Amino acid sequence: MSEVTMDKLVNLCKNRGFIYPGSEIYGGLANTWDYGPIGVEFKNNVKRAWWKRFVQESDNSFGVDAAILMNPRVWEASGHVSSFSDPKMDCKECKTRHRADNLIEDYVKKHKLDVDVDAMSQDEMYKFICDNQIKCPVCGKCNFTEIRNFNLMFKTNRGVVEDAENIVYLRPETAQGEFVNFLNVQRTARAKVPFGIAQIGKAFRNEITPGNFTFRTIEFEQMEHQWFCKDGTDMAYYEEYKNKAMQFYNDLGFSKDVLRFKDHEKLAHYAKCACDVEYLFPFGWGEINGVHNRTNYDLSRHQEYSGKSMMYLDPVTNEKYIPYVIEYSVGADRLALALLANAYHEETLDNGETRVVLKFHPFIAPYKVAVLPLQKQLNEKAKQLYKMLNKHFMCSYDEAGSIGKRYRRQDEIGTPFCVTVDFESLDDNTVTIRDRDTMEQIRLNIDELVDYISKRVQFN
Ligand code: ATP
């Protein structure tokens, strides 16, 4: 098995319809990507798996789908207007802009130094860059401006007049939609603390650093789950959500050696403690999710800024309090990228050919089954079968090229089952069904197919 590289992934994604560069015919727009026909199925399945685990199978979690544009006071209350920024510096020579922490991280990695950039102040970062003569990655000179904070939120104007009164922000995280609806959900779902609110939706950040494909983009989807609990129970739930996150990834097929927890040294203004789960991407370790103990910071701030009570009244003890929040936040696009890298395999076949195969968990595979007629005369029977199967599963139909080529095409997009219709099928209504990973084939009656495939594509 040869190693997966980012180039191989990007090429496969582009050629097979997973992911294309955004606005490609206009030369693209940096750090934007479009999901194609295969990619949209795949990402939807990743989101479904997450929702199933964290909403459907949770006793006490409820979903919302909040507006992307929120009252700008929300972002004042959350602290984003004043402090959601990255340390940026400009190269005075070639005028390109860079994140100071990223320049240091790359330098430290290259020279194998034991330096924790997260723990550095801005002055320390600037000094480190000057002392080590870290160079601009574009022009190779070391002549930077001082570090300034650059707010990551995209601004736009509401209505026809462009003035400060009309500014609205594209949300930089989905979390605030859950917080502002805390009491709405609690009341309408008749929920008792502890309970959770989950949301999957777009978030926007004006990121300037190179993205590593879909790892860092300016528009991305977050899957966020906020668990509201009583002060004092928070640390136990924090541990529980760390473990639940890890279990979810293991169940999706990641082995233990490619994932790790990383505790935050420098905490966000709202956090009591925080950690990431990182995956070993082809370019190195990278965060796929954060778990944060946000205390009662967000609800308290919304109470203060909106003037509306965010207190929960415990119906048993009659106690009134603002709950603590444990947040589990994962990027759908980052998790999808990690799953793609994890699934990618190259295998040498007996005949010396190489097959590229995406060994996804069947639940997240874009298509569950492909129907392949062996000869032209069998197309009609195969089409009937396809029409029957696509009532149950996302299903592909392919009659073009040799059967070997057709198997390869399905392997490359991770289709777990290929069903071949042959002349025997006309006589006895049986077909062969081929397993993507073992390439073994068995013969089944068409009436058994739906049941057989359904059982094998479940995610529990
Ligand atoms: P990073 O340190 O990589 O910038 P973060 O710590 O700012 O990420 P969070 O604010 O905790 O990220 O967001 C939760 C999740 O959202 C991240 O774990 C990641 O999966 C995803 N995410 C954040 N920023 C981006 C981005 N620019 N592009 C794609 N996904 C992102």
Q: Among 98-112, 330-344, 371-385, where is mean pLDDT lowest? A: 98-112
> Nearest-CA neighbor of 262 among 234, 289, 222?
289
3-state secondary structure of 198: strand
- Cα–Cα distance between 443 and 205 in angstroms, integer? 51
Domain identity same for 225 and 282: yes
Domain identity same for 144 and 170: no
Q: What percentage of residues in the chain have a pLDDT greater than 90?
A: 87
Q: Give the number of the atom of ligand 1 that is nearest the alpha carbon of residue 329.
A: 14
Nearest CA to ligand 1 atom 16: 331
Q: Which residues line ligand 1 (CB under 6 A)?
A: 173, 205, 207, 216-217, 220, 222, 287-290, 329-331, 333-334
Domain identity same for 302 and 427: no
Nearest CA to ligand 1 atom 22: 331
Nearest CA to ligand 1 atom 21: 331
Kindly state whether residue 314 falls inside one of the protein's structural domains: yes
pTM: 0.92
* Tally of domains in the chain: 3
Of 324, 340, 356, the one marking the end of a domain is: 340
Q: Give the number of the atom of ligand 1 that is nearest the alpha carbon of residue 222.
A: 16
Domain identity same for 14 and 55: yes
Distance between Cα 203 and ligand 1 center (Å): 10
* Average confidence (pLDDT) over 337-354: 95
Res. 431: pLDDT tops 60 = yes
Q: What is the pLDDT of residue 211?
A: 77
- Cα–Cα separations (whole angstroms), residue 170 to 81, 167, 213, 310, 404: 12, 10, 22, 24, 48
Domain identity same for 167 and 238: yes
**161-198: pLDDT as tens digits:** 767 778 999 999 999 999 999 999 999 999 999 999 99
Domain identity same for 196 and 66: yes
Ligand 1 pocket test, candidate residues 173, 222, 293, 333, most atoms within 8 A of CB: 222
> Nearest-CA neighbor of 245 among 229, 232, 258, 261?
261
Q: In 10 A of CB 132, how many CB atoms?
A: 16
* Strand duo 259-263 + 273-281: pairing: antiparallel
Of 151, 181, 196, the one marking the end of a domain is: 151
- Cα–Cα distance between 54 and 62 in angstroms, integer? 9
Q: What is the pLDDT of residue 265?
A: 81
Parent domain of 120: 85-151
Distance between Cα 216 and ligand 1 center (Å): 7
Q: Give the number of the atom of ligand 1 that is nearest the alpha carbon of residue 172.
A: 10
Q: Is the sign of the CA dihedral 286, 291, 297, 300 positive or negative?
A: positive
Whether omega for the bond prior to residue 194 falls within 30 degrees of 0, making it cis, is yes
Of 151, 176, 192, the one marking the end of a domain is: 151
Whichever domain contains 108, its CATH number is 3.30.40.230
* Strand duo 417-421 + 369-373: pairing: parallel
Q: What is the pLDDT of residue 118?
A: 79
3-state secondary structure of 278: strand
Domain identity same for 265 and 288: yes
Kindly state whether residue 351 falls inside one of the protein's structural domains: no
Q: Give residue 253's identity as a one-letter amino acid code.
A: G
- Beta strand residue intervals within 59-169, DSSP E: 61-63, 85-90, 97-99, 148-151, 155-157, 167-169
Q: What is the pLDDT of residue 210?
A: 67
Whichever domain contains 421, its CATH number is 3.40.50.800
Q: Which two tokens stand for residue 125?
A: 């970062």
Domain identity same for 163 and 275: yes
With a CB cutoff of 8 Å and minimum separation 6, the contacts of 126 are 89, 100, 146, 147
Domain identity same for 187 and 302: yes
Ligand 1 pocket test, candidate residues 214, 287, 289, 293, most atoms within 8 A of CB: 287
Q: Give the number of the atom of ligand 1 that is nearest the alpha carbon of residue 287.
A: 18
- Cα–Cα distance between 19 and 9 in angstroms, integer? 10
Q: Which residues pair with 421 in a beta bridge?
A: 373
With a CB cutoff of 8 Å and minimum separation 6, the contacts of 205 are 152, 153, 154, 172, 218, 220
Res. 1: pLDDT tops 60 = no
Nearest CA to ligand 1 atom 20: 331
- Quick one: 383 exposed, middle or buried, by C-beta within 10 A (0-12, 13-18, 19+)? middle
Domain identity same for 170 and 46: yes
Distance between Cα 457 and ligand 1 center (Å): 29
- Quick one: 289 exposed, middle or buried, by C-beta within 10 A (0-12, 13-18, 19+)? buried
Q: Give residue 418's identity as a one-letter amino acid code.
A: C
Nearest CA to ligand 1 atom 2: 287
Nearest CA to ligand 1 atom 8: 287
**CB of 229 closer than 8 Å to CB of 324:** yes
**100-122: pLDDT as tens digits:** 998 998 899 889 998 888 788 88
CA–centroid distance for 242 within its chain? 16
Kindly state whether residue 357 falls inside one of the protein's structural domains: no
Kindly state whether residue 350 falls inside one of the protein's structural domains: no
Q: Give the number of the atom of ligand 1 that is nearest the alpha carbon of residue 218.
A: 27
Kindly state whether residue 349 falls inside one of the protein's structural domains: no
- Cα–Cα separations (whole angstroms), residue 446 to 96, 370, 375, 385, 427: 61, 14, 18, 8, 12
Q: Is the sign of the CA dihedral 62, 68, 74, 75 positive or negative?
A: positive
Kindly state whether residue 423 falls inside one of the protein's structural domains: yes
Q: What is the pLDDT of residue 427?
A: 96
**20-43: pLDDT as tens digits:** 999 999 999 999 999 999 999 999
Q: Which residues pair with 233 in a beta bridge?
A: none
Nearest CA to ligand 1 atom 29: 216
Nearest CA to ligand 1 atom 24: 216
Distance between Cα 128 and ligand 1 center (Å): 25
> Nearest-CA neighbor of 400 among 432, 374, 423?
374
Kindly state whether residue 10 falls inside one of the protein's structural domains: yes
Q: Give the number of the atom of ligand 1 that is nearest the alpha carbon of residue 216.
A: 28
Nearest CA to ligand 1 atom 7: 290
**259-298: pLDDT as tens digits:** 999 998 878 777 889 999 999 999 999 999 999 999 999 9
Q: Which two tokens stand for residue 340?
A: 């793609």
Domain identity same for 101 and 175: no
Domain identity same for 323 and 221: yes
**386-427: pLDDT as tens digits:** 999 999 999 999 999 999 999 999 999 999 999 999 999 999
- Cα–Cα distance between 428 and 446 in angstroms, integer? 9
Q: What is the pLDDT of residue 144?
A: 94
Whichever domain contains 312, its CATH number is 3.30.930.10
Distance between Cα 220 and ligand 1 center (Å): 9
Kindly state whether residue 345 falls inside one of the protein's structural domains: no
